[in-house]
Amino acid sequence: MTPSLSSGTVRLIMALFFLHPFALGGWLPHIPYVQSKLDLTNAQLALSLLGLPLAFVFISKFAAKVVAQYGAPKIFLVFFPIQAATVVLPLFAVSQITLFLALLIFGASMTFLNVALNVYAGQLEKAAKKSVMNRCHGFWALGLTVGSFLAAMFTVSLSPAFTVLALSASTTVLAVWLARSLPNLRPKTSDTQKATKRRKLRDYPTTLFLIVLFVVSVTMAEGAMANWGAVYMAERLPEGASTAGLAITVFSGFVAFGRFIGDFLKVRMGSTNLARMNVGLAIIGLVILVAPFPPLMSFVGFACIGLGLSVGFPLAVSAAAALEDEHDADNIAFLSVMAIGTNVVAPPIIGLLADNVGISLALAALLPGLCLSFVMARHLTPTPELPKAAPA
């Protein structure tokens, strides 16, 4: 490992992965509060929640070009403060439409940071020849766990807006200070220009589409747990119970645990076997939520799902980045758009089903997709594909 890629660099990027989701973790436990304040049905809330994934879909490709041009460290310095300023907007929404717009703005700032973090981790894996992606995402999930827990606890005595702003502002100051020490790992100018000029859809590696088929259902289920976990527990627990937000804490905590041990297991089991084992565990956890078990058993279901979904996206990102050196940012952005884009469809479907058959049965709609991910896991160990030859 070169001096610029010392263990200190690895620790710095993992610290940024940890600090990034504090803003999101502060928002998620307050979804039931905003739903109640605005008097929204589950279906109406689902449409408003589309703001986050839509922002990711429309901004990711542009964000990838910006990251490729300027490098991830500069993106961190600019967009951590922007994220801290926009995360409080959803709490001041006065209608379904303003909630959607607030989440759209917040989601745009998150998108730049998401792309930059994943691109930097992928570049670091290749440059240092060391597996770090799962642990990076483990710290991200740990940050979401700590952030959601603090938000749920502090809201008892503090206002939601003050709680979210305090969490995001304090972590932003630390993130900007740390990001100043990161070396820039972006490719040389010629490679960067080449990476930003993808021509047509057929120019993407075939294996990338197979990896997408694996990851879309994993991210759909992960997003469903994040968006609907607190709402699910609020319906199952006695009215007035204040522990519904702990469903997010349990879920994200086990996501973090699974990712921390993911790199260790990946080396020993291989990506495909690890993915199949975890997706199978996620299916078991989802069955626990759908089945008529006592409410406290639901926390076991959230734990199984969190552990089961933990390594899916990191494994897919590593596989996509490994396909081509000069297009790693574009491959990751394409994978992310396709994966997160499924959440444009999932929230309204789950919301509509929840209003008609109950949220437990609505979550059962995720089972077929997870079965598909189990089958497609065999494509997570791709060999790098050579660029397609230009016509003579």
Q: Which two tokens stand for residue 253?
A: 């905590």
Rounded Cα–Cα distance for residues 20 and 168 (Å): 9
- CA 92-15-127 angle, 5° bins: 125
Q: Is the pLDDT of residue 331 over 90?
A: no
Residue 392 lies in a domain: no
Predicted pLDDT of residue 382:
54
Determine the pLDDT at residue 98. 94
Q: Which domain holds residue 298?
A: 3-379
pLDDT digits (tens, 9 = 90+) for 205-227: 778 888 888 998 898 888 888 77
Q: Residue 18 pLDDT more than 50?
A: yes
pLDDT at residue 191, rounded to an integer:
46
Q: What is the residue whose two structure tokens read 């749920």? A: 152
pLDDT tens digits for range 310-326: 889 888 888 887 776 66
**Residue 321: per-residue pLDDT:** 75
Give the Cα separation of 310 and 155 in Å (integer): 28
pLDDT at 201 (0 to 100): 66
Total domain count, the chain: 1
pLDDT exceeding 90 applies to what percent of the chain? 26
For the record, the structure tokens of 182 come out as 């990161």
In this predicted model, what pLDDT tens digit does every residue of 178-212 receive, in sequence order?
999 888 876 554 444 444 455 566 667 778 888 88
Distance CA(220)–CA(240), nearest Å, equals 29
With respect to residue 130, please indicate whether it lies within any of the assigned structural domains: yes
**Angle at CA of residue 181, ends 107 and 78, nearest 5°:** 30
At residue 26, does pLDDT exceed 80? yes
pLDDT tens for 98-128 read: 999 999 999 999 999 998 998 888 888 777 7
Q: Can you tell me the distance from the alpha carbon of 312 to that of 367, in angstroms, rounded to the nearest whole number?
A: 15
pLDDT tens digits, one per residue of 72-103: 899 999 999 999 999 999 999 999 999 999 99
- Residue 17: predicted pLDDT: 94
Residue range 242-277, pLDDT digits in tens: 566 678 778 878 988 998 898 888 888 888 899 999
Q: Check which CATH number belongs to the domain holding 221 and give it.
A: 1.20.1250.20
**Long-range contacts of the stretch 231-236 (C-beta < 8 A, 24+):** 231/31, 231/32, 231/35, 231/42, 231/45, 231/354, 231/359, 232/289, 232/298, 232/359, 232/360, 232/363, 233/295, 233/298, 234/32, 235/358, 235/359, 236/295, 236/298
- At residue 193, the 3 state secondary structure works out as helix
In a domain, 387, yes or no: no
Q: Say yes or no to pLDDT of 297 above 90.
A: no
pLDDT value at residue 274: 92
Structure confidence at residue 307 as a pLDDT band (50, 70, 90): very high
More confident residue, 218 or 339: 218
pLDDT at 16: 94
Task: Classify residue 14: in a domain, yes or no.
Answer: yes
How much is the pLDDT for 238? Answer: 58
